[in-house]
Amino acid sequence: MKNLKLKAARAGKDLSQQALAEAVGVSRQTINAIEKGDYNPTIKLCLAICKVLEKTLDELFWED
């Protein structure tokens, strides 16, 4: 399932996939795969992404 909330939050911070990847210590391909729904990140990575994007786990990763 695509993570459009993550993509929107990243765009809202004016961050590229590459910039977000560098901020959390993963590859751009990893961020791309998370956004496309091809990869389930670890809770540690989820928390790192939330911190950079100033969002909660629920806001970015909870499925409605």
- DSSP string over 17-54: HHHHHHHHTS-HHHHHHHHHTS----HHHHHHHHHHHT
Report the predicted TM-score, pTM, of the whole model to 2 decimal places. 0.94
* Mean pLDDT of the residues in the chain: 96
pLDDT over 80 (residue 64): no
Confidence of residue 1 (pLDDT cuts 50, 70, 90): confident
Q: What is the CATH number of domain 4-58?
A: 1.10.260.40
Rounded mean pLDDT, 40-58: 97
pLDDT over 80 (residue 18): yes
